[in-house]
A and B are shown apart, each in its own frame.
Chain A
Amino acid sequence: MSGVLLEVENYSGAFWSPTNELVPVLHQVSYRLKTGAMTAVVGETGSGKSLVALSIFGIQPAAFVCTSGRILYRDTDLLGIDEKEMRSLRGAEISMVFQDARAALNPVFTVGRQLADVYQLQHGGGRSAAMAKAIEALRQVSIPEPERRARQYPHEFSGGMAQRAMIAMAALTCRPSLLILDEPTTGLDVTIQSDIMELIVELSRQRGLTTCLITHDLGVVAEICDEVVVMNAGRVVETGTTEAIFTAPTETYTRRLLAASQLLEAAA
């Protein structure tokens, strides 16, 4: 599998309904994340884009059942390993950034403490060395006054600053090969969103990360992604390079999604 870091292969799954029936939600989902590339997984609410991402990270909801398929990371099937093995991959190999960073961070610990804890867990060493690394990571994501910020709690951070801290934790304190970002800028103001996306691109390039960006914002995709996976209603509709998806989409759904994003009349 040279050139491919992760491959989702015929991944299908269902949710248990309240009446104890299995309701299928993912249908033979297949896509590849090329090593070193930035791949966007786009789709609207209910497309299943986040559910696949959560599955890669091994944190799919308890009511979800995988009914077929594999998720190959390097040569390991992530669906076939136990929680202990998965935990050894999280952070070290695969990291994830969530939509609402202030909700994803623990409200009762300072931001610096949380980064330092993750550092110690991943790399060992003493507390003060870990805190120094945490402050350094905050500095690298352009958080002003990182020493003071490290002593603050998540609620004292703005949404944009909290997302920077989250990215510092996921991409710098951890040293993953694969970074998954689930709607990292949704809910942020447009100027802040642009700053955060620039930071993500810069860090990904610097560290040679393979990045998977889950988003509904095709503007961001057009600007920064190399590859695109279009999902709708639990299925992969189309995959291709960003240029191909934007300039020569083959599927009706892709064309409709593009038209809606550009506020054009649907060219179906």
Chain B
Amino acid sequence: MSFVNMSVGDAILQVRDLHKIFPVEGGRRLVAVDGVDLDVAAGETLALVGESGSGKSTVARCIVRLIEPSGGEVTIDGTAIVPLPTKRLAGIYRRIQMVFQDPNASLNPRMNVRQVLDEPLRLHLALSGAERAGRVRELVEMVGLTPAHLERYPHELSGGQRQRVGIARAIAVSPDIVILDEPTSSLDVSVRGQILGLLLDLQQRLGLAYLFISHDLQVVQHVADRVAVMYLGSIVETGPVADVFRDPRHPYTRALLSAAPVAQWGVKRTRVRLAGEIASAIDPPDACRLVGRCPMAQPSCSAGKPSLIDLGQAHAVACPVVVDRPT
């Protein structure tokens, strides 16, 4: 595993060689995450993009230990989260929080907004009742809601308002980094813009770092500083958003970027096509995961899984073929 220093400045979140393997029937292994390295610097946004089955959400869930990783290390500001005994995890959650895709499913329907926001304060901070009440009022206003919303239950809120509550809950304990797992993909476009605006605003005010999981490339281009592209459990390309979007190198990145339609008149795309659909993650061969679909595949692609190769300027790609044959 080649190590590529992807971040600029000090990493607040560091992920090294993360693995998650799910056993499946017949003694086979589903390799969901296969050796992922990530760095997120304080105050920056790293987008993790990929399609269904790429493992991006599994990475997020392993980082916060919602599912147990099979191997690897995760540290937050030098403190290990993986490995760490479960009972010591609570202290970590003051530093790292998560916002989920479906605010409908991630808010307890029996708790009103006040209770939702009070819970993390009670669990993680030694505050008096009056201090907590003050903080709860401050939080709803930070996310663009009003104290009138505090007594409402999730079903009395719109999708956008619910996502605002999810964001307020995540920032309640003043974390250093928030993992955003598809935070806008269940929202209408006009609401999507408002929520993204809120996230950018909070990042500026609070100096938050974001790990932004998304399949929406337009959103990624809009909010992220750097991007890591995942395919079948591995990062195939990473770099500053501007570079990767202007000059994508990995055949998968090219296929992905060229597939996204642009909401403007007269834009012509030239698609880079992959054959068929995503391969199975069960017992994958030791080869590039794109073999069989890739228009540029060489015999050497079947001889071992390629590591990320540094292209300079923090841009790296896991494809020796494109590196040897510059465009």
Size range of the interface on B? Answer: 20 to 34
Question: Which residues of A have CB within 8 Å of B188?
Answer: 44-45, 216
A22 contacts the other chain (CB 8 A): no
Interface stretch, picked from A109-117, A123-131, A218-226, is A218-226
Pair B267/A192 contact, Cβ less than 8 Å: no
Q: How far is the CA of A192 from the CA of B256 in the complex (A)?
A: 10
A190 touches B263 (CB 8 A): no
Which of B21-29, B37-45, B136-144, B271-279 contacts the other chain?
B271-279
Q: How far does the alpha carbon of A259 sit from the alpha carbon of B222 in the complex, in Å?
A: 13
Q: Quick one: which of B192, B222, B277 contacts A192, CB cutoff 8 A?
A: B277
Contact residues in A for B222 (Cβ distance below 8 Å): 263
In B209-229, which residues have CB < 8 Å from any A CB? 215, 217-219, 222
B128 at the interface (CB under 8 A from A): no
Residues of A within 8 A of B264 (CB): 222, 246, 262
Q: Which of B52, B189, B265 contacts A222 (CB 8 A)?
A: B265
Q: Which of A44, A160, A222, A259 is within 8 Å of B261, CB to CB?
A: A222
- Contacts A44-B189, A216-B189, A263-B222; A191 near B263 (Cβ below 8 A): no
B259 contacts chain A at the CB level, 8 A cutoff: yes
Is A261 part of the binding interface, using a Cβ–Cβ cutoff of 8 Å?
yes
Is residue B190 within 8 Å, beta carbon to beta carbon, of the partner chain?
yes
Interface status of B260 (Cβ within 8 A of chain A):
yes
How many Å from the CB of A46 to the closest CB on chain B? 9
Asked if A247 is at the interface (CB within 8 A of a chain B CB), the reply is: yes
Tell me the complex Cα distance, A68–B82, Å.
64
- The answer on a CB contact under 8 Å between A260 and B265 is no
Query: Which of A45, A247, A256 lies in contact with B265, CB distance below 8 A?
Result: A247
Cβ of A251 within 8 Å of any chain B Cβ, yes or no, is no
Given the interface pairs A191-B51, A222-B267, A263-B196, the reply to whether A257 lies near B190 with Cβ below 8 Å is yes
Assess whether A191 is in contact with B267, with CB atoms less than 8 Å apart: no
Which residues on the B side are within 8 Å of A191 (C-beta)? 51, 255-256, 259, 274
- B255 cross-chain contacts in A, Cβ below 8 A: 191
Assuming A218-B189, A221-B263, what are 11 further A-B pairs, CB within 8 angstroms? A190-B256, A192-B51, A194-B260, A194-B261, A219-B260, A222-B262, A223-B267, A242-B265, A246-B263, A246-B265, A260-B190
Q: List 5 A–B pairs whose Cβ atoms lie within 8 Å, in order of A's numbering.
A: A219-B218, A242-B265, A258-B263, A259-B193, A263-B196
